[in-house]
Chain A
Amino acid sequence: MRSITRRDFLKIGAAGTALLAIESQLHPIAQAMEMMDGGRSVNRVSGLPRSFLPSTCTQCPAGCGIIGYVEESKLVKIGGNPKHLSNQSALCARGQAGINALYDPDRILTPLKRVGGRGENRWAKIKWDQAYEEVAKAMQPLKSQPGRFVYMTEDLGHDTLGKRFAYSFGSGNALGAASIFGGNKQVATQLTWGAAGDMPDVANTKYILVFGANPLESHPQFVGFARRLIEGVQDNQAKMVVFDVRLTNTSTRANEVYYVNPGTYAIVALAMANVIMQEGLHNAAFIDQWANISSGDIAAHLSQFTPEKAAAASGVDAAAIRRVATEFASTSPATTLSDGLVSVHGNGTQNERAVMLLNIITGNIDNRGGLCLPREFNLPDADPAPAVPAPTPLSNPADLPLASQQAIDRSWQLIRDRKHRVGVLMTRSYNPVYSDPDGGGVADLLKDDTMVPIHVAVSPFMTETAALADIVLPETTYLEGWDLEVRPSPELVPFISLRQPVVPPLKDARPFFEIATSLANTIKGGMEQYFGFKSVEDYLKGRIQNVGGLAAAGGLDYLKQHGVWFNPRSKPDYGSFGGGFSTPSGKLEVYSSVLKDKGFSPLPDYEPVPAFSSLSKDELVLTIFDTAIQTDAKTANCMWLDEILHNNPVWINPATAEQLGIKDGDKVRVVRAARTGQGISPVDDSQLNPRARSLETTAFLTEGIHPRVVAMANGVGHTGFGRIAQGEKISKDEESGALKNPNTELVWWREKDGIGTNPKTIVPAMADPVGGGQAWGDVVVTVGKIKE
């Protein structure tokens, strides 16, 4: 915070300082934003300011505020919105490269209808009216069994319009994919403090214990959170201790780094909690007031987790566990930081609960510098809102009672087992063939028209999944569309961010609002009454009408001008739980009766991953990590990003590589071991897709990885998603009109380095039975050199 105002002071000078004194009760960002109207980008030749419009990014889930700079109705640059509370004026590589996606030469700009077999990639261009008619013709017969219309999207929680479309048709089968993107954390936090997610107040803390998280490279609020973490460790001199299986970008800024055996985070955290209770370093008053069991009960439960036992399981020295635990409990404020690797194991939900317990017993809950509740506006759908249909076996699988509408892999299995008969499947902003475990299996399912009679893909790009559709409806990219975005605020002051077109839709691409409205009015049968808005702006006004302060500030007009709104007088309301938490007991549920009722361990617990016990000498654990350069299936068509990260050689510790006879740069085969299926949620390996058992890549030898772990980056290795994503040059002679870009002829990495391999193809679908999250981290592999 200080660094922002410091920089802005420089720009505004003495006059601004006087004004700031008057306005000092405003949030510091609000102070800055009053001064920062006007262009922040100029033409390189003329020096004249460029025209600009604020909007909101979708290159990752953070929802950062962006400014689109436009010349002659072409987008020439994307910068960060200085008024945005999350990213402020900064913007990551992906956000700035969004311009590549807008002008991807392989964008789909007219509706397509399949002519050959599914997946043959032969298409006929059709008119929008015909596309709407065809989809309506397929959906209308399902009106009596509306659940046979299945809508799938990556981030259901933030796809209000998609839900509106499915619900207004009467289908409760609007499904999200949270299970493959760390859903265990959402479930663990919901169970424990009655809110999904958390927001460590890292800028104001003095001690940060990081378990498996890598926020300096990948975080749901990447730019804003990374800034605050650096403010914490650098400006506030917080000590940071990292537990992980590899050297992450976050480790590079840490005071201490410990390598843990994979899947053992919970026992390390529980042993630390045990030390804190035994040493009497806990906050007894806080526990008495806010935990739903007593200090004595917590201590008794924890006593089994001795540092020695944790050391034997995790490989972390018992003395280090004792010392770090003591430091954590003796430093105030302090917070844990967990995400990513902690969540993506078969024991992920319990891992998260174990880490959270450290904050509870030290009273670092929703305090300045502690682990805070997420601050996020709840924007209901606009009136008239369709009724939410009753949960279905597909949306709420019986065996994953806590993973409502988000356990996508279980949904695929129910379709595969013909327990749910799909009539029409619509996929939007979701590429399961790339993103999901066993994407090959998902592709086989999508090719089978007895399981999926009609597949409509709403997508601006020919992704691996859209290629298996019958009809492709070319939605605009985020730079040409509308939406409202609310995300947990890294600054702990909630905001509403607007997405608006920074350029008009290219050619025949249409915003999803227009597609959904036209479809509803073609399908009819009652759903059209929910799509009677005069315009998208009319619809968005309906969604924000009850946000008091925003209405007073000017409502949608304010958002269109500034891109974001937050109450300029708000400050973080620490201790916001005041009258109690939104849990059944109103307290922090260290003991969860919900878990007890569902047959799970009610107390934070450690359950070893069976597949990791007694690994043989050549068996290694595969870790798939996210980077700050590519976002899963979303960004590989951006050439500026691919040029930086285009392949993903497998990281191997040199000592391990020597045993395996592997040298740096060798071609290697990574083979999934049958033992992988011995997870917490067992999988019969013989039933799995045999083609998806191994992959080929090159070896990258690094000292920054646990000797029993190998690692590959996510986000590359596409087999679809256009030519840029696959590293192919596009000749400058090729006519691509507005999308013509001479740079596409200079694509160089495929020949030199290769385009990588998608490691998720060899990962079977395995869910944590508690939270339903995919156990990406439970994969055992062997790695061998390919003999030339």
Chain B
Amino acid sequence: MVIDMRRCIGCHACTVACKAEMAVPLQVNATWVKIVEKGPYPSARRFYLPRLCNNCTNPICVRNCPTQASYKRDDGIVVVDPHRCICCKYCIASCPYDVRYVNPFKEIVEKCYFCQHRVDAGLEPACVESCPTRAMVFGDRNDDKSEISQLLASNATTVLKKEMETEPNVYYIAGDETAMSNDEKGINYRAEGAFINLRL
């Protein structure tokens, strides 16, 4: 997936698309938009960062799962088998991105699966389909002709915590450095603690 921050308007369509598509309960999120504000008045700027599982090529969570509930599909999507998950939360502890959660009803770990069921049916992930400004693009990187391959070839991109060598599969175009480098989740919108204020 590529998320083009030059197009993102911080509207949270993706946040709600994920809730609806994956029946994500209240209190937890598989996808959300982090908001960061930087700089003094009047040159203050605001930056967004849609967050979701990176479905890493080298997923630490999969390595650390004692029951092989977490595994990587042939196409690279990292999923959790609900029947094998014992909710030991090792994966949550080992994920550098804080994108896994315990489903409060099922008491198993869940996360973003790039909407594997939609991808299998030839559809885009729900967040991608809902995005009003088409900031999110999903596709096959191995297909040189795909839109995502062309975007990756023609734009500089960054990933979260490259130094962890997880090889994330969510690429950001023009992602703000501060938003990408600090560990705050910043889920709620303008609720207390919503913005991470950084007077840089």
Contacts and interface: CB of A to CB of B under 8 A. Distances in A.
Interface of A: 3, 6-7, 10-11, 40-45, 47, 49, 77-80, 87, 89-93, 96-97, 99, 216-217, 222-223, 226-227, 230, 234, 247, 249, 251-253, 257-259, 627-629, 639-641, 643-649, 653-655, 664-665, 698, 700-707, 713, 742-743, 746-749, 753
A578 B130 CA distance: 38
The 6 A-B residue pairs with the shortest CB-CB distance, nearest first, are A703-B44, A746-B26, A230-B133, A93-B16, A216-B9, A628-B11
Point out which of B37, B41, B147 has the most chain A C-beta atoms below 10 A from its C-beta: B41
Contacts of B21: 44, 77
Contacts of B13: 90-93, 96, 628
B82 to A, nearest CB: 10
Nearest to B41: A703
Interface string B171-200: 000000000000000001111100101010
B121 interface: yes
A702 B197 contact: yes
B147 A6 contact: yes
B37 A703 contact: yes
Contact of B26 (A78, A216, A639, A647): A639
A247 B44 contact: yes
Interface string B5-30: 01101111101110111110111000
Interface in B115-140: 117-118, 120-123, 126, 129-135, 139
A92 B11 contact: yes
A97 B16 contact: yes
A89 B133 contact: no
A644 B189 contact: yes
B104 interface: yes
B7 A703 contact: no
Given A641-B16, A707-B41, A87 B192 contact: no
Nearest to A92: B13
Nearest to A254: B45
B134 A217 contact: no
A324 to B, nearest CB: 15
A747 B135 CA distance: 30
Contacts of B39: 703
A251 B22 contact: no
Nearest to A747: B26
Contacts, number: 188
A230 B132 CA distance: 9
Contacts of A753: 188, 191-192
B48 interface: yes
Nearest to B26: A746
Given A230-B135, A749-B188, 9 more contacts: A11-B122, A79-B129, A91-B132, A223-B132, A257-B42, A647-B192, A700-B192, A748-B27, A753-B188
Contact of A749 (B15, B129, B191, B195): B191
B134 A259 contact: no
B3 to A, nearest CB: 13
A253 B146 contact: no
B44 A647 contact: no
A703 B199 contact: yes
B114 interface: no
B63 interface: no
B129 A90 contact: yes
A273 B199 CA distance: 36
A97 B122 CA distance: 24
Contact of A704 (B41, B105, B117, B118): B41
Given A96-B17, A223-B132, A645-B189, A42 B118 contact: yes
Nearest to A698: B192
B10 A252 contact: yes
A234 B7 contact: yes
A222 B26 CA distance: 26
B182 to A, nearest CB: 17
Contacts of B135: 230
Nearest to A252: B46
A217 B11 contact: yes
Nearest to B195: A702
Contacts of B191: 645-647, 649, 749, 753
B190 A703 contact: no
B132 A226 contact: yes
B47 interface: yes
Contact of B129 (A89, A252, A649): A89
A746 B134 contact: no
Contact of B121 (A47, A628, A643, A747): A47
A640 B20 contact: yes
Given A93-B15, A230-B9, A99 B147 contact: no
Point out which of B9, B39, B47, B195 has the most chain A C-beta atoms below 10 A from its C-beta: B9
A620 to B, nearest CB: 14
Nearest to A11: B122
16 contacts: A42-B121, A47-B120, A91-B17, A97-B20, A216-B9, A226-B11, A226-B133, A234-B6, A247-B37, A253-B9, A257-B42, A629-B12, A655-B41, A713-B190, A748-B27, A749-B191
Contacts of B11: 92-93, 216-217, 226, 249, 628-629
Interface string B131-159: 11111000100000011000000000000
Point out which of A11, A222, A226, A713 has the most chain B C-beta atoms below 10 A from its C-beta: A226
Nearest to B129: A89
A6 B150 CA distance: 12
Given A3-B134, A10-B146, A644-B188, A743 B26 contact: yes
B130 A10 contact: no
Contact of A227 (B126, B129, B134, B189): B134
